A and B are shown apart, each in its own frame.
Chain A
């Protein structure tokens, strides 16, 4: 029994295999999304009512069938995948940048400033923050991708801020930082040259975990009809469309749902694996 509880070496191996598989799946999805136009002659927004609602099959090269308006589901799903990937990565980049800045400032300042800044994070953490996202998304012109990005990115930075702050707080007391301060290196330079490179590992890991979160928020809003608008589609809006017609045409739901699941699953597994390797707190 003791061996099984404390054995960790054996458990690491399959996990690394899973991480590898996740990375391959993610690469395949990205490649598919980008290269899709080369594989199908159908444009995602070309309407062809004569072929509306045809099921998946090899004829006419509508591999994944067509929707109510005769648009090719494969082309539309791939376009949705591109939009979701783009919004997910950009929103994650923005929110991680906010989180790192907030965390480094709080952790390096310490004392009251730190306490106040982290109290704000605590409060925001406790609120059903998606409510604010919904309100922000309804506030402005619907379908404005920039507003959507801002709304989504405004929720994603909290975890990064907490982690970076913790790391910075620990770094601040290390000798090399103290030495830099004693030599009169300006604070900005200390943060840039000495603190940031040392928090980079966990930041990369949590950034990977932020991407699927952002993709899910975007899909969540698009599912409720508050996100990306026609004729543009994201995986969320395609799922919402597909759920309406799933009784007669289940492929409309299953194609985008499958893609979204594969995407979030691979990103989560990859992020967890990176965190195990890169975050000193979880290192065994």
Chain B
């Protein structure tokens, strides 16, 4: 197990380096630069600006400087936000995005997994059909449809909840964004829990337990639940990437001051370090969550553990 974890951590670092390298050069391939503003600036001013930010050096040197900065935990200065470090910008936005994403993922799992299990146990009955309709709907409704529609219905028409804003994450303001972000993840986790449990319940060792006369409740709780959760656990890594992506939209729709907007804004403004900072931070988060999910998988599944 330790060797497995160690190998995975080395793989993670290699992946991250690959990601940083690819992103760095792809972004620089783009035409235009951070100082192409509408009003033209004097060539001397531009040269001074580029020298000040180290943009006059060859690309490989800039790359080496960026990576060595990264190793020291420095994401560099923002090119567009004057006198602000990228880490300050992200430091302000990330806690908001992270609490939004964590709340949505928690809600999705807490509601989705029981829903999926109940649907599996009631297979082909009313609850199962209702659940599958709900799941299909929630998967088909992307955040940029669900968000504005929820905001319109509950915020503007019924006036039950604020239509937009964040207000430091107070409960009323958080309900609609969290619901919007959680809906598709909830649907996926319910679907995975349902098929997971159905697959386990159809297996031979469950049939053997039934043949020995064990009650269904006992079988489900003691023998079926843990293996039924396996597909769900291996989905958790991608789920984090999914929620991070969704929060870009949700933050735009509800005007939430998270970190998501920095990606689009930075890419449009050619704010190289800001985009790189977003990619590095979100990349680290996703890769770490993937690693955690894989280790949890090993802990749940003894066959993997022994390997």
Interface residue ranges, A against B (CB under 8 Å):
1-2, 4-8, 10-11, 14, 123, 125-132, 134-136, 138-140, 212, 216, 219-220, 223-226, 236, 239-240, 242-243, 246-247, 250, 253-254, 257, 260-261, 264-265, 268-269, 272
Contacts and interface: CB of A to CB of B under 8 A. Distances in A.
B123 A11 contact: yes
Given A216-B142, A239-B144, A253-B148, A139 B264 contact: no
B249 A220 contact: yes
Contacts of A272: 136
Given A6-B202, A224-B249, A250-B152, 18 more contacts: A5-B198, A5-B216, A11-B123, A126-B241, A128-B245, A131-B263, A131-B279, A134-B263, A223-B249, A224-B248, A224-B264, A243-B147, A246-B151, A247-B156, A253-B152, A257-B148, A261-B141, A272-B136
B167 interface: no
Nearest to B238: A125
Contact of B267 (A138, A246, A261): A138
Contacts of B275: 135
Given A126-B286, A140-B30, A223-B249, A5 B137 contact: no
A234 to B, nearest CB: 12
A123 B237 CA distance: 11
B210 interface: yes
Interface of B: 15, 18-19, 23, 26-27, 29-31, 120-125, 128-129, 136-137, 139-142, 144-145, 147-149, 151-152, 156, 198, 201-202, 210, 216, 237-238, 241, 244-245, 248-249, 252-253, 263-264, 267-268, 275, 278-279, 282-283, 286-287, 290
A264 B282 contact: no
B30 to A, nearest CB: 4
Nearest to B153: A250
Choose among A4, A7, A225 the residue with the greatest number of B CB atoms under 10 Å from its CB.
A4
B239 to A, nearest CB: 11
Nearest to B201: A5
Choose among B19, B216, B264 the residue with the greatest number of A CB atoms under 10 Å from its CB.
B264
A269 B136 contact: yes
Nearest to B253: A243
B144 A219 contact: yes
Nearest to B287: A126
B156 A127 contact: no
A246 to B, nearest CB: 5
B241 A128 contact: yes
Contacts of A11: 123-124, 128
